[in-house]
């Protein structure tokens, strides 16, 4: 009878030891989200290197073990979000300036175009008179006029091309200012989602 009691006692002790050891072993397993106490501590496991830190993606987070990949991805996502806020604000601030620039350059183009049209008419008239001129004096005078009006039309045409280039640049900047904020927001969301996946608890 005593032997039976002793055997039962030993069995209970062994079972108790197993029951105690299992939770202790499970608690010692380090993965994302497992609580820790010493900030900055690092440890290596078969799953990679982990650091005791607060998750940058979680407000008022507590110290937990986080994989280095998780910390890197989370930190980058937070930086991307802050950068997107600043960039978006800059775009919004620039839009009125860009709009004013387009309006001003368009008005300048119209003014130069009117001058080009007038110079072209003068050039055409001078060329016609030169073709009909009889005396050398008239021909010299009209040749000079044709040369002058030709230079004028070329200069005005060059100004218009430069204005067109400036307007295209301003329009491109305007397009960026209206579309980039949405793209930045999408990038921030993707970065956060990716970081959350890498930081999944238990990984």
d(C-alpha 168, C-alpha 134), whole Å: 48
Per-residue pLDDT of the chain (203 residues; tens, 9 = 90+): 434 444 444 444 444 444 443 343 345 589 999 999 999 999 999 889 999 999 999 988 899 999 999 999 999 999 999 999 999 999 999 999 999 999 999 999 999 999 999 999 999 999 999 999 999 999 999 999 999 999 999 999 999 999 999 999 999 999 999 999 999 999 999 999 999 999 999 88
3-class SS of residue 177: helix
- DSSP letters of 16-55? HHHHHHHHHHHHH---TT-B-SSTT-EEEETTEEEEEEE-
């Amino acid at each position: 009878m005593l032997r039976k009691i002793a055997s039962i006692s030993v069995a209970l002790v062994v079972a108790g030891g197993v029951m105690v050891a299992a939770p202790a072993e499970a608690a010692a397993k380090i993965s994302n989200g497992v609580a820790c106490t010493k900030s900055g501590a690092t440890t290596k496991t078969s799953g990679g290197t982990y650091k005791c830190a607060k998750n940058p993606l979680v407000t008022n987070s507590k110290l937990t073990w986080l994989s280095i990949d998780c910390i890197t991805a989370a930190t980058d996502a937070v930086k991307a979000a802050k950068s997107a806020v600043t960039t978006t604000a800059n775009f919004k601030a620039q839009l009125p300036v860009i709009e004013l620039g387009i309006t001003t350059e368009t008005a300048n183009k119209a003014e130069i175009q009117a001058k080009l049209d007038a110079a072209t008419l003068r050039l055409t008239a001078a060329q016609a008179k030169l073709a009909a001129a009889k005396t050398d004096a008239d021909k010299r005078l009209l040749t000079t006029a044709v040369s002058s009006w030709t230079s004028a039309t070329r200069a005005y045409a060059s100004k218009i091309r430069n204005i067109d280039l400036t307007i295209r640049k301003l329009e491109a900047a305007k397009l960026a200012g209206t579309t980039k904020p949405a793209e930045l927001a999408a990038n921030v969301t993707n970065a956060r989602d990716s970081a959350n996946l890498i930081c999944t608890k238990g990984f």
